[in-house]
Amino acid sequence: MKLTSTVNSKIETSMENIEDVKFLTLLCKERSDLIIKTEFGLGHYNFMKFSELNGMLVLEFNLMDDKKYNDTSSIFTHIGKTCFLTAEQYLSVYSYIAEA
């Protein structure tokens, strides 16, 4: 019985993720790039794809080589090219942009 319960739980989580992905895809099409403040400065990021990280749905963004942002090379050196945001983090940034 426990195995069935675990399988059902995973199926429900997958279904929730599918609905989340549908909703987030609409938002990402509307606003595929973000300016993210990191500990090494401001970076211009572009949405790439959805991924799974430690069992969580995340949005993958890549740092863009945008000359308007002087901190790009520092961010790339210290953090790397890829940034992962949870759905909640992305929605927080998205709502902040919408209010600005």
pTM: 0.71
Give the CA diameter of the chain.
Answer: 58
Run of H or E including 21: helix 2-30
What pLDDT sits at residue 10?
41
pLDDT band at 11 (very low <50, low <70, confident <90, very high): very low
Contact between 94 and 85 (Cβ < 8 Å) = no
Mean pLDDT of the chain: 77
pLDDT band at 3 (very low <50, low <70, confident <90, very high): very low
Tens digit of each residue's pLDDT (9 = 90 or more) over 59-85 = 899 999 988 999 999 999 999 999 998
